[in-house]
Amino acid sequence: MKLNKLFLALLFLALSATGFAQTTKELTRKKEALQREIELAQKNLNKTASGKKLTLGQINAIKAQVRLMQEKISTINSEMRNLDNQITENTGKVHNLQSRLSKLKSEYADMIRFAQRNRNSYDKMMFIFASKDFNQAYKRIKNLQQFGQYRKKQAAYIQGTEKDLSYKITILDKDLKSKNDLLREQVNEKGKLDKKKSEQTVVLNQLSKQEKQFSQDIQKKRQQQAAIEKQIKAEVQRIIALERKREEDRLKEEARLAAAKAKAENKPVPVVAPVKAKTNSEILRATPEAAKLSNDFEKNRGSLPSPVATGYITTHFGVGKFEQATVNEEGVKYQTSDGSAARAVFNGTVRSVSPVQGRFVVLIKHGEYFTVYYNLKSVSVNAGENVSTKQAIGIVGTTDGVPELGFQLIKGSTHLNPEAWIAR
């Protein structure tokens, strides 16, 4: 019974440690990814900071760095909370093992004293011969044998518990060291964040001096963005119209064939009931293939790969403030590294490749969903071509000297927030 309890306790400890290790590993990976993004943002910031003129790319890069640093500190705090929980848990386990070890040693000492008192073979024989009958004598013989075996088992329990206690103390010491390392890292990262915020203040002060020129730049970029949005929406509506026409033609052809068949069989021509107008999404997923692709796309919500292998988001989806101006973004923008490829986030068909504002816009259809990739300086796919997940579709162009990709996600004709669909 004691052996079973000990085994179950050790199994629980092992499973708990495994769960903790997985969580810590995930946090470590996230922290490392954030550090790579911080370094990339600094690299992009260095490209623009050398110029006298303040650029939108420079402001976006420094804001992204501040946000990424804050997220990294938050990740370190999560690691420390995990370690605190683990330290508390392991401290309790050490105390339990110490208590159990003390009890086992006490029981073993009692057995040794009993064995010492009854070590004489004559005493054992007298104990057996003093039995009132054969059955009792047999039971006393078995009890003496079992006592010897139990004593050996108790010695093995003690050795095993001592080993477990030593292991848990080692783990506890390791956790305490890791926590001290994280505390130093946290202090270091907070210092970097304070320095970066001071740098941000300098940039924003510079912005106030160049407000007129900067406002003109923003207005120009808004006009460029509006032209891109207009092109994207027109292309989506064109595709929906083509799909709707194809569906109407299919229904007309079915009605014509049914009428021809009725006439050939000398039967009344069937009356075609009016068909309820379908929504854009219903039209786009009208075929079994399109419906399956739509379902597969939906199943990957939250786990789609990023449209760039390395990069960070500088412009977020929806209504927001940029300095004093209110903006409404239909998608997100990624700053990435020089020469980076834009890549398809899911299997689909390229429906259009369009030049806009000296750059290219690629629109890929995934059933009733569309993904849009813009600000490409070159493309490597053509309209009508099937693409697979993570396939390169073009090279990202620059904005204010920084490589930047615009990315949108559309269902039917409704824009969705890509950040809810893309894996971190």
Given a cut of 80, is residue 148 above it in pLDDT?
Answer: no
Last residue of a domain, one of 183, 209, 235: 209
Q: Answer yes or no: do 32 and 165 share one domain.
A: yes
Q: Answer yes or no: do 344 and 374 share one domain.
A: yes
* Per-residue model confidence as pLDDT tens digits over 67-110: 888 888 888 888 888 878 877 877 777 777 677 767 766 766 66
Q: Answer yes or no: do 17 and 157 share one domain.
A: yes
What pLDDT, on a 0 to 100 scale, did the predictor assign at position 130?
Answer: 58
Burial grade of 360 (CB within 10 A; 0-12, 13-18, 19 or more): buried
What pLDDT, on a 0 to 100 scale, did the predictor assign at position 1?
Answer: 45
Paired with 371 in beta bridges are 364, 409
pLDDT band of residue 18 (cuts 50, 70, 90) is very low
Which of 23-27, 189-193, 234-238 has the highest average model confidence (pLDDT)?
234-238
Q: What are phi and psi of 342, to 5 degrees?
A: -80, 145
Cα separation, 161 vs 6, in Å, equals 9
Residue pair 336/405 in contact (Cβ under 8 Å)? The answer is yes
Q: Answer yes or no: do 323 and 192 share one domain.
A: no
Assign residue 334 the CATH number of its domain: 2.70.70.10
Q: Answer yes or no: do 103 and 178 share one domain.
A: yes
Cα separation, 294 vs 289, in Å, equals 9
Mean pLDDT on 128-148: 58
Q: Answer yes or no: do 310 and 348 share one domain.
A: yes
Given a cut of 90, is residue 378 above it in pLDDT?
Answer: yes
Length, in residues, of the chain: 424
Least confident stretch, 44-53, 173-182, 231-240, 397-406: 44-53
Strands 392-396 and 348-356: unpaired
Q: Answer yes or no: do 146 and 251 share one domain.
A: no
> Domain range spanning residue 25?
2-209
In a domain, 286, yes or no: no
In a domain, 273, yes or no: no
State the total domains in the chain. 2
Q: Answer yes or no: do 254 and 165 share one domain.
A: no
In a domain, 92, yes or no: yes
Q: Answer yes or no: do 251 and 329 share one domain.
A: yes
Q: What are phi and psi of 271, to 5 degrees?
A: -85, 125
Residue pair 371/408 in contact (Cβ under 8 Å)? The answer is yes
In a domain, 242, yes or no: yes
Q: Answer yes or no: do 317 and 404 share one domain.
A: yes
pTM for the complete prediction?
0.66
Q: Which structure tokens are listed for 228?
A: 């891109």
pLDDT band of residue 363 (cuts 50, 70, 90) is very high
What pLDDT, on a 0 to 100 scale, did the predictor assign at position 38?
Answer: 80
Q: Answer yes or no: do 18 and 164 share one domain.
A: yes
Percent of the chain surpassing pLDDT 70: 72
In a domain, 145, yes or no: yes
Last residue of a domain, one of 209, 239, 274: 209
Residues 6+ apart with CB under 8 A from 369: 294, 297, 409, 410, 411
In a domain, 87, yes or no: yes
Q: Please report, in angstroms and rounded to a whole number, the separation of the first and last CA atoms in the chain.
A: 48
Q: Answer yes or no: do 56 and 175 share one domain.
A: yes
Q: What are phi and psi of 139, to 5 degrees?
A: -65, -35
